Amino acid sequence: MADKRDYYEVLGVQRGATEEEIKKAYRKAAKQYHPDLHPGDKDCEEKFKEVNEAYEVLSDAEKKARYDQFGHAGVDPNYGAGGYGSPFGQDIDLGDIFSSFFGGFGRRSNANAPRRGTDVEASISVTFEEAAKGCTKKVSFNSIDVCDDCHGTGAQPGTQAKTCSACGGSGRVTINQRSPFGVVQTQRACDACKGKGKVIETPCRKCAGSGRIRKPHTVDVQVPAGIKDKQTLNVSGRGNAGFNNGPAGDLHINVTVRPHNLFERRGDDVWCDLPITFAQAALGAEVTVPTLDGKVKYTIHEGTQPGDVFKVKGRGIPHLGGRGRGDQFCRVVVEVPKNLNVKQKELIKQFDASTTERNYAKRKNFFDILKDLFND
């Protein structure tokens, strides 16, 4: 321990330096002495190891406190090995214990293993008729693609990424920590390669070394007949590109159905209000009913009342992903005429005078109830 340099001196910071100052100094020193930048230079390799060792201690609040109080002895992983530190007389790797009990629980995945890309979202708006009958829509969105210059390597064409010498390409480094059970080995992401296992000396100019670029896209999407408002369509494989040749994510398209000025949707049925005249309601008539498939004729029966509902079978919304379709329901609205002239008013008065309670069942029932109330 006597030949080790002071960790603060190694990183070039003062005692009492903040966490951010320590991290900044480490990044600068690690970049300066990284073995990949000095191939074959043993001196730089040793200094790089020294820098990592110093940062491992000073970046950990508990280790830093022990180092500040006891110096290198406070953080020496060999202190207590085979004695107090280990009741079994040897160092213990808790990772091996967890593996034996839980079948490898907690092990880290390969940094270079293929990983699926994330999903992206887009939105489209369709009319009521388009949602009912189905349509094709152009959907524009942005997604992350593999860089077509470096083909995802992140290295400038003509060069290639090198295996990180600090972690041997695993993307993880092993840390020894003293505990009441002995020296415990833990792992963390390699600071030199940021857990990637590779170091790029000459980054691709197009993607700045990321291997991925964001691009605009437009695709034709088939909107199925019967889709509802706020439903989501999924287009497989059109999301962000995967990592290390992993599959791309999916494109999720959020659909908004614009309201109609005449029709209303309830499940797969269509509802609408149908205005008719007083004469049509009283005498019955053949009326024209608008539907999603065009106009149809329907016979209103004599004595139709305001609010009556009739059904036009099979004129609703197609069942999404299935056979058949809903129905159309028409709610009768009897319109009372306005702006009558003198002659029209006189005719209505004559007509009203000629009617009796027999012609108004609801009115008769109303007055019968009133009569019973007053008799009480």
State how far the Cα of 180 lies from the Cα of 7, in Å rounded to an integer: 25
Tens of pLDDT, residues 103-155: 444 445 566 678 898 999 999 999 999 999 999 999 999 999 999 999 888 89
pLDDT in tens, 92-112: 344 443 433 344 444 455 666
Can you give the pLDDT at residue 91?
Answer: 41
CA–CA dist 123, 140 (Å, integer): 9
Per residue in 157-205, pLDDT tens?
999 888 888 888 888 888 877 766 667 777 788 888 878 888 888 999 9
CA–centroid distance for 260 within its chain: 30
Q: What are phi and psi of 145, to 5 degrees?
A: -110, 160
Single out the residue of 48, 18, 16 nearest to residue 34, CA to CA: 48
Q: Which two tokens stand for residue 326?
A: 């809903």
**Which of 52, 67, 70, 51 is CA-nearest to residue 16?**
67
Residue length, the chain?
A: 376
Q: Is the per-residue pLDDT at 58 higher than 50?
A: yes
pLDDT reported for residue 105: 41
Q: CA 297 to CA 273: how far, in whole Å?
A: 15
Confidence (pLDDT) at 41: 81
Alpha helices (H) in 116-205, listed in sequence order:
128-133
pLDDT at 96: 42
**What phi and psi values does residue 44 have, to the nearest 5 degrees?**
-65, -35
Tokens representing residue 302 in the block: 């004599």
- Provide the sign of the torsion angle of the four alpha carbons 188, 191, 195, 197, taken in this order: negative
Q: Residue 372: what pLDDT?
A: 64
Confidence of residue 357 (pLDDT cuts 50, 70, 90): confident
Higher per-residue pLDDT: 375 or 60: 60
pLDDT exceeds cutoff 70 at 359: yes
Beta-carbon contacts of 113 under 8 Å, excluding residues fewer than 6 positions away, are 244
